[in-house]
A and B are shown apart, each in its own frame.
Chain A
Amino acid sequence: MTEAECAECGATLDLADDLETGEIIDCGTCGAELEVIDVNPPVLDRAPELEEDWGE
């Protein structure tokens, strides 16, 4: 388990070991959607907003 800081509220997040760049994590404190920018060490940024042509 590793830790990173929420880019929105600054809370500390516990992250799974199989983290992938591009993965989206929800902040348990503020609810923000965060994108994993880097895994070693983990860096999180605000995730892009949902767009109309997203999805299957």
Chain B
Amino acid sequence: MKIGILYSRIRKDEKLLLSELRERGHDVTKIDVRKHQFGLHDTTAPVDDLDIVVDRCLATSRSLYATRFIESYGVPVVNSPETAEICADKAKNSLALAEAGVPTPETKVAFTKESAMDAIESFGYPCVLKPVVGSWGRLMAKIDSRSAAEAILEHKATLGHYEHKVFYVQEFVEKPGRDIRVVATDGEPVAAMTRSSEHWLTNAAKGGETEEFELDDEALELVEKASDAVGGGLLGVDLMETGDSYTVHEVNHTVEFKALNGTTDVDVPAAVVDWLESKAAEKTAAEALA
């Protein structure tokens, strides 16, 4: 297949993908989005004869716009701009999960310090304040007291970008020192791992220790439902254990999988490329019918 990779920075994840694609003899076009313009009818990016484009942009803003434009040129792109739009924003992400009946932490969004404080007090302490856009666990706050809440809200309102004036307040979930990351393709898990830490943030990017995790039937069903809720694609579904059940706190759309690949015996990039091949074949089949 002829495949385009949208990127602005090549991480180990992209290297793994590129290596797998090239080993299989696919024709790979790397597209650095920083170097191109995206017009209403065409682009300087070489996308015309591609079977599929994979969005691996590091920056969410670039990902959102580039995928929207690429799709407008009639080129299939994964993940879709619709999926990206939901996953890029924690509030939209939470709403989509709740609307699909997927258990997700209780969440309130407020637009002023005063109403955010009311939301925080309604949850009680501790609770969690997150930016609606952001990743790698940055700018996440576990709020233990009213005085801490006042200080953080003041800082965000005064120093923050406008997106930090959308206050996303969430209940604190007492997880067992770990959460679960599942990489899935259209709801089908590739592999899963736990991320454990003494710290309340367990992200691999924050140094959480990883271990392979076997999903039970309930988790499998939740991963599928969570994937459907955001429009499917190559996704990272994050779950937390809540006693004898789970809650899904987030679905990520430009999922990093290098930590998972190093944790499991599953060849994650190979599974991702299997899936990309199937997506490209769907496009070829659709064209044959047209």
Of the listed stretches B7-15, B39-47, B170-178, chain A binds B7-15
Q: Per-position contact with A for B49-61: 1 when CB-CB < 8 Å, else 0? A: 0000000001111
Known: A18-B19, A20-B10, A22-B30. A54 touches B236 (CB 8 A): no
Known: A20-B10, A21-B32, A23-B10. A54 touches B15 (CB 8 A): no
CB nearest to A55 among chain B residues: B135
Known: A20-B10, A22-B8, A23-B10. A52 touches B161 (CB 8 A): yes
Question: Does the CB pair B58–A55 fall under 8 Å?
Answer: yes
The number of chain A residues with a CB under 8 A from chain B is 16
Query: Of B15, B134, B254, B255, which one neighbours A18 at CB under 8 angstroms?
Result: B15
Question: Does the CB pair B254–A23 fall under 8 Å?
Answer: no
| List of B residues within 8 angstroms of A18 by Cβ | 15, 19
Q: Nearest-CB distance from A7 to chain B (Å)? A: 16
Question: Does the CB pair A51–B256 fall under 8 Å?
Answer: no
Q: Does B252 lie at the interface of the complex (its beta carbon under 8 Å from any beta carbon of A)?
A: yes
CB nearest to B205 among chain A residues: A55
Question: Which residues does B use to contact A, with CB under 8 Å?
Answer: 7-11, 14-15, 18-19, 30, 32, 58-61, 133-136, 138, 161, 205, 236, 252, 254-256
Question: Which residues does A use to contact B, with CB under 8 Å?
Answer: 18, 20-24, 35-36, 47-48, 51-56
